[in-house]
Amino acid sequence: MLRMLRSRAVGALVGGLAVLSACTTEKIVFKDREPFNPPPDAAAGFLGYYTVNSKQTSCGNCHQGQQTVWAQTAHAGAYKTLADLPANQAQAFCYSCHTVSTNGNGAPTPKRGWDVVQDSAYRDVQCESCHGPGNNHAQAPSRSNWPLARAGMASSGVPAASAAASNSTCAACHSGTHHPFAEEWGKSAHSKVVVEGTTPVARNADGTDRASCSPCHDGKGTLKAWGVNTNYIEKDSVGVMATTCTVCHDPHAKNNPKQLRFSITAREPSANLCMKCHDRRAVLAVGTTRLTPHAPQGDVLLGTAGYRPQGVSIEEIAVATTHASSANTALCAGCHIQRYTFNDPASGNFTFQATGHRFLPIPCVDANGPTDAQNCGYNTASRSFKGCVATGCHNSEAIAASAFTSRRATIAVLADQIWVDTDGDATVDAAPTDGGMLAIVRRDRPTEFTNTTKITPAMGAVFNMTTFAERYANGDGSKGTHNPFLGTALLAGNIVELRAAYPFLPAPPAAVQAAVDRSLNELKIRQPNAFKAGGK
C-alpha cells in the first residue's frame, strides 16, 4: 500500500510539472555580476567602488585581504570628512585629496577620476588613488600590467624615473600649509641617505646589501627586515631608499593608530616602532675593543643603556621614571612628534600647521613654525618646548628649558673631568694631546683600552662618555634629555671607579666632586637600594 501511494504521488507531481511547462516558454537564467563596473571616467580607467554603500571596491573583489583591512583606515572615510563639514566649508579643490582623482598615482595632468567625473564610485581614497587605474589589469589580470604603487619619495635617494614620480607618492595630498607632512619629512634625517665616502652605508662597494646596516639605513631593507612582502615600484630597484612614509606607515591597514606598522607605546624595543632602529648597540660587550655605541636611544630612554661602574647598581625601572614615565606613554613619539598651529603675528590668521615630521622635540621656531636652521639657543625665546608640556612631564615651557640647561651643564662638568677631546677626532688620545682622566690612563696604561677578556674601568668610561656626553656623533645625542638621571649617575660613577682603579689619577676639583656627590645622592633619593655594600 505504501509503495502504491508513493507511485501515485510521484506521478501526480510529474504530471503537474508537465502542465506547468506547457503554460509558458520563459526560462530562468542565473548569471553572476561582472566583478567590476564600467569606469565612470572611461579615458582614465579608474574603476572605483563596486558598491558604494558597502565601500566595496572593484579591486577588493579579488584582493579581499587588502579590501578588509583598508576599510578600517581613515582613507576609507575620507569623503565623509568633507561631507560632514558645515555648508560651503569644503571647497572644490578639497575633493581631489578625498577621492580617487588625479592625485597620488601619476602625472598631475591630464585631470582624471573625480577631477573629471564627480561620480559616487570615486568617493574616498581607494586603492587606485595610490596604485593608479585598475581597468586594464581587471580586464586581463597579469603581472605585466599590474598597477604598483610607489614607496619612495622624490628626494628619497631613488631617482625619479619621470615627472610622474612627483605625483605618485603620499606627498600628492599630504603636503602644503594645511598639513605639510612631506615638506617636513623632506627636511628630516629620515629623508636622507647616509653616505660614507661615495657609498651609502646600507650598501657594500659592489652594490650588495650590507646586512647589518640595510635594515635601518635603506627603506627597502627596513621593509624586508620587518617581513613586509608587499610589491611596490622600487622593491627590486638599484640604489638606497630613504625612510619614507610607507616604511613607518602601513598604507593598507590600521593595526596601530595613524596606520603605523608597530606600536609607539610598547616598552619592549623589538616591538616599538622607533626603537626597532634607534636601539642597536647600547651596552658594552666583552671580547671587543669597539668602545662606542650605535643608536642607543631606546635603551637610554628605558634606563638599560650604558656601562655600570663598580659599586653603583642602577635600578632600571626607577631610573626610567623620567621621560619614559607614565606621563609620556608615547615614549619617543611623545616628544619627537608634536603638532603646532602657528598664526601670522600681524593678522592673527591661520598660516601654518606643523605636523612634527621633522622629528624635532624642541625645534627652533619662528612665526611660521620650525625653521630651516636649527642652531639657535636653547631658550624659550628661540625654541618651542611645547612638547615637554604636552607630554605631561613639565608644567611649563620655562621649567622644561631650565631643567634641560641644568642637566646639560652637570653632564658637561662630569664629562670634562673624564675626557676632553682636544683634537676633536672622537678618539681618546694620550695626554697631553687630549685632556681628562682617560687621557692620563691612555698615556700610563694603554692596554686598559684594548682588553678582550674583560671590560676595564677605562673601557667602560669611554663607552659612557660616547653614549651620554656630547663627544660622539652616533651616541644618544639627546644632550642628556632622554634619561637625565641615568646619564649623570653613570658618569659620576665612572669618576669614582676610575680613581679607585687608577690611583695615579689626580683628585677632581671641588666643583667636580660636588657634581659627583650631587648626582649620586640624587640617585640615592630616587632609588634608596641602588648602592651595593661598599659603594659610594
Higher pLDDT, 296 or 237: 296
401 — phi, psi (to 5°)? -65, -40
Whether the CB-CB separation of 392 and 418 falls below 8 Å is answered with no
Higher pLDDT, 396 or 17: 396
**pLDDT (tens digit, 9 = 90+) per residue, 311-323?**
777 777 667 667 8
pLDDT range class, residue 345, cuts 50, 70, 90: low
pLDDT range class, residue 263, cuts 50, 70, 90: very high
Q: What is the pTM of this model?
A: 0.87
Cα 35 from chain centre: 38
Q: What residues contact 1, with CB distance under 8 A and at least 6 apart?
A: none
Average pLDDT over residues 46-63: 96
- Classify residue 509 by burial, with Cβ atoms within 10 Å: 0-12, 13-18, 19+: exposed
- DSSP conformation letters of 39-64: PSBTTTTB--EEETTTTEETGGGT-H
**pLDDT (tens digit, 9 = 90+) per residue, 125-157?**
999 999 999 999 999 998 888 899 999 886 444
Q: Output DSSP code: residue 52.
A: T
**pLDDT (tens digit, 9 = 90+) per residue, 415-425?**
999 999 999 99
Does residue 413 have a pLDDT over 60?
A: yes
Does residue 205 have a pLDDT over 60?
A: yes
| Residue 490 host element (H or E) | helix 484-501
Question: What angle is formed at CA 422 by the lines to CA 416 and CA 427, rounded to 5 degrees?
Answer: 90
- Cα(357)–Cα(333) distance, rounded to whole angstroms? 10
Q: By C-alpha distance, which of 112, 121, 137, 109 is closest to 231?
A: 137
Whether the CB-CB separation of 311 and 534 falls below 8 Å is answered with yes
CA distances from 388 to 323, 393, 401, 484 (A): 9, 6, 9, 14
**pLDDT (tens digit, 9 = 90+) per residue, 62-111?**
999 999 999 999 999 999 999 998 888 888 889 999 999 999 988 777 89
Cα 86 from chain centre: 35
Does residue 344 have a pLDDT over 60?
A: no
| Residue 366 host element (H or E) | strand 365-366
- Cα(266)–Cα(324) distance, rounded to whole angstroms? 11
Higher pLDDT, 275 or 85: 275
Asked whether the bond before 361 is cis by omega within 30 degrees of 0, the reply is no
Q: By C-alpha distance, which of 104, 90, 98 is closest to 120?
A: 98
- Cα(527)–Cα(84) distance, rounded to whole angstroms? 53
Whether the CB-CB separation of 417 and 495 falls below 8 Å is answered with yes
Residue 352 has a pLDDT of: 66
Whether the CB-CB separation of 275 and 298 falls below 8 Å is answered with yes
Residue 348 has a pLDDT of: 55
CA distances from 191 to 60, 244, 275, 431 (A): 32, 7, 18, 40
Average pLDDT over residues 36-54: 96
Asked whether the bond before 257 is cis by omega within 30 degrees of 0, the reply is no
Average pLDDT over residues 47-57: 97
Does residue 404 have a pLDDT over 80?
A: yes
Does residue 4 have a pLDDT over 50?
A: no
> Is the alpha carbon torsion for 498, 504, 510, 512 positive or negative?
negative
Residue 1 CB neighbours (<10 A): 5
Cα 87 from chain centre: 37
Write out the three cell numbers for 149: 604603487
**pLDDT (tens digit, 9 = 90+) per residue, 357-387?**
999 999 998 877 789 999 999 999 999 998 8
Write out the three cell numbers for 196: 660614507
> Is the alpha carbon torsion for 299, 302, 306, 307 positive or negative?
negative
**pLDDT (tens digit, 9 = 90+) per residue, 320-339?**
667 888 889 999 999 999 88
pLDDT range class, residue 531, cuts 50, 70, 90: very low
Q: For helices 397-418 and 437-444, what crossing angle results, to 10°? A: 20
Q: Where are the beta strands (DSSP E) in 188-270?
A: 195-196, 199-200
Q: For helices 437-444 and 484-501, what crossing angle results, to 10°? A: 40
**pLDDT (tens digit, 9 = 90+) per residue, 177-187?**
778 899 899 99
Average pLDDT over residues 295-305: 94
